[in-house]
Amino acid sequence: MSTILEKISAIESEMARTQKNKATSAHLGLLKAKLAKLRRELISPKGGGGGTGEAGFEVAKTGDARVGFVGFPSVGKSTLLSNLAGVYSEVAAYEFTTLTTVPGCIKYKGAKIQLLDLPGIIEGAKDGKGRGRQVIAVARTCNLIFMVLDCLKPLGHKKLLEHELEGFGIRLNKKPPNIYYKRKDKGGINLNSMVPQSELDTDLVKTILSEYKIHNADITLRYDATSDDLIDVIEGNRIYIPCIYLLNKIDQISIEELDVIYKIPHCVPISAHHNWNFDDLLELMWEYLRLQRIYTKPKGQLPDYNSPVVLHNERTSIEDFCNKLHRSIAKEFKYALVWGSSVKHQPQKVGIDHVLNDEDVVQIVKKV
């Protein structure tokens, strides 16, 4: 293990020593690609039988969405979870109280949302220190990350945590790079740029690709991309997760400081101890999870507004709705009647490809 870590630290120190200019860009690109490869080996080591997973980490996914709490030890993650979900996660004033993943579940707007209190991440988690690797592996499966920060020292913590998560291929509040990349059998490297590039040119792209032993590929850059973006696309194991920064312990700062904090994007100031500002937090969580509620209506009865079927924003067709209810329904589907904002007439007869909006009411008619 130490050999990979030694290689990583050697490359990082060389990158820190190298000046950034046009002449060294190819060298830096090569170092970044090497670093990404080593990091990938750290996350999933080559060969060897499956190691024994430590207890308490693999948590079964339940509910409609999963939210992970990430933060340094003792910033108030467990207090927040126990006050939000009524789950008892051991709370104490010393670091590393929570040692395994503690799941909780809340119901918000009819959707069941699983909350995971992940053990505190320490600096160097991505290099295998502490139990950071398992923590971040669980974080990769979440639909949303709550980064809990102490509002007395938020920015230093935020940078360190983002650096740890980036090292594990988690990208927070970012979109996947708009780069077309396809390997082929022959024909060399074919690079097309739709806009002028400030960093990437053909030589740098070839240098990075040669580190991955790729000598034939089509690449189209649709925006001004960096070498990091290109490496992300080649690695292909990056996960893009929305993140909300929770600045905890606002009961210890002044009103003027609070006004400044409110202007930071993706941020919610809260006090886990006093239950302050939880409604703002839950509202923002709903917005970032991008869930939609669809109500069912049995024939001849009123719609059931208490238990909606919750769909993710990107998969909201009638077919997805049927599959969420039961796999067999889509096969017997004849047509559906829909009331709501996704149709012109109330009700309207629609087919299986119709896309639903939030809070639509659906009645499904099966083949006889």
The residues near 302 (Cβ < 8 Å, ≥ 6 apart) are: none
d(CA 129, CA 8): 14
For residues 331 and 95, give the distance between their C-alpha atoms in angstroms, rounded to a whole number: 54
Other CB atoms within 10 A of residue 255 CB:
7
Q: Write down the pLDDT at residue 316.
A: 83
CATH class assigned to 65-174+239-288: alpha beta
> How many other C-beta atoms are found inside a 10 Å radius of the C-beta of residue 170?
22
Name the residue among 177, 157, 182, 184 with its Cα closest to residue 238.
Answer: 177
Backbone angles phi, psi at 219, to 5 degrees: -135, 130
User: Per-domain residue ranges for the chain?
Assistant: 2-48+177-235, 65-174+239-288, 291-366
- Compute the distance between CA of residue 223 and CA of residue 349 in angstroms, rounded to an integer: 42
What single string gives the DSSP state of each residue in 244-306? EEEEE-GGGS-HHHHHHHHTSTTEEE-BTTTTBTHHHHHHHHHHHHTEEEEEE--TTS--EEE
Q: Which residues of the chain have pLDDT under 50?
A: 1, 47-56, 88-98
* CATH assignment of 291-366, among 3.10.20.30, 3.40.50.720, 3.20.20.210, 3.40.50.300: 3.10.20.30
65-174+239-288 and 291-366 have identical folds = no
pLDDT of residue 120: 58
**C-alpha–C-alpha distance, residues 294 and 357, integer Å:** 8
State both tokens at 34.
């090497």
Alpha-carbon Rg for the chain, nearest whole angstrom, is 24
Joined together, the tokens standing for residue 295 give 């109500």
Cα 21 from Cα 194, distance rounded (Å) = 23
In this prediction, residue 256 carries a pLDDT of 76
Roughly how many angstroms between the first and final C-alpha of the chain, as a whole number? Answer: 62
C-alpha of 75 from chain center: 21
- 88 vs 51, 77, 92, CA distance in Å? 30, 12, 12
According to DSSP, residue 367 is labeled -
d(CA 296, CA 61): 24
Cα gap 27→48, rounded to integer Å: 33
Residues composing the chain: 368
List phi, psi (to 5°) of 292.
Answer: -130, 140
